[in-house]
Amino acid sequence: MPKVSDLFFKTAVVWLILGIGAGLQMAISGDHGAFPAHAHINLLGWVTSAIFGGYYALNPAKAERKIAMAHYGLYNVGLVVMLPALYLMLHGNTALEPVVAAGSLIVAAAVLLFAFVVFSSASVRSASELSPATR
Ligand code: HEM
């Protein structure tokens, strides 16, 4: 499995554990007020990250490109800024709304990077595949 896929899956599992933790906290407390944070932790953190990891596993040539790791880094910086702030905002810390907004813009930028990866050519060869004449 490409390194970027492995990273996406490992990070996805961490988000899943946090998302389920937030779900259990709601279920046990009976206070479902933070359900949008729970839903976004699970859907952006777990489901979408796992789909990204699966895409790169199916497209190893694209996984080798620097932009794949930039996508991974930017996406997770966005999630780390957005999701805890969203959770705390829904628990009454309304001053965190700009932080949620900033994180969500970073997430959106990372998704545009992924769109670029998907629509760009797959025929990128690593240096080891290039013949000496083309190096
Ligand atoms: C042990 C695991 C989980 C528990 C205990 C749990 C618990 C909950 C609770 C209590 C709510 C609020 C329901 C409401 O007030 O209407 C909720 C909503 C939601 N959960 Fe989970 N959840 C779990 C796992 C997941 C997973 C894995 C996902 C997605 C991959 C997910 C996605 C959602 C979504 C999208 C909503 C919003 C649903 C709506 O608005 O109707 N949950 N969950």
In a domain, 134, yes or no: no
Q: According to the model, what pLDDT value does residue 121 have?
A: 86
In a domain, 48, yes or no: yes
Pocket test of ligand 1: the residue of 38, 43, 49 to mutate, having most ligand atoms within 8 Å of its CB, is: 38
Q: What is the DSSP letter of 119?
A: H
Q: Whose CA is nearest to atom 24 of ligand 1?
A: 20
Q: Whose CA is nearest to atom 29 of ligand 1?
A: 42
Rounded distance between C-alpha atoms, residue 84 and residue 73, angstroms? 17
Which residue stretches of 30-96 are H helix?
Answer: 35-40, 49-58, 60-63, 66-90
Q: According to the model, what pLDDT value does residue 135 have?
A: 43
The per-residue DSSP string of 77-100 comes to HHHHHHHHHHHHHHTT-GGGHHHH
Average pLDDT along the chain, 135 residues, taken 10 residues at a time: 98 98 97 97 98 98 97 98 98 97 98 97 57 47
Does 124 contact ligand 1 (Cβ within 6 A)? no
In a domain, 132, yes or no: no
Q: According to the model, what pLDDT value does residue 83 have?
A: 98
Give me the domain span that covers residue 29.
Answer: 3-121
In a domain, 43, yes or no: yes
Does 17 contact ligand 1 (Cβ within 6 A)? no
In a domain, 15, yes or no: yes
Rounded to 10 degrees, what is the CA torsion of 74, 75, 76, 82?
A: 110
Total domain count, the chain? 1
What's the CA-to-centroid distance between 39 and ligand 1, angstroms? Answer: 6
**Model pTM greater than 0.85?**
yes
Instruction: Extract the tokens encoding 24.
Output: 């259990």
Nearest atom in ligand 1 to 24's CA:
5
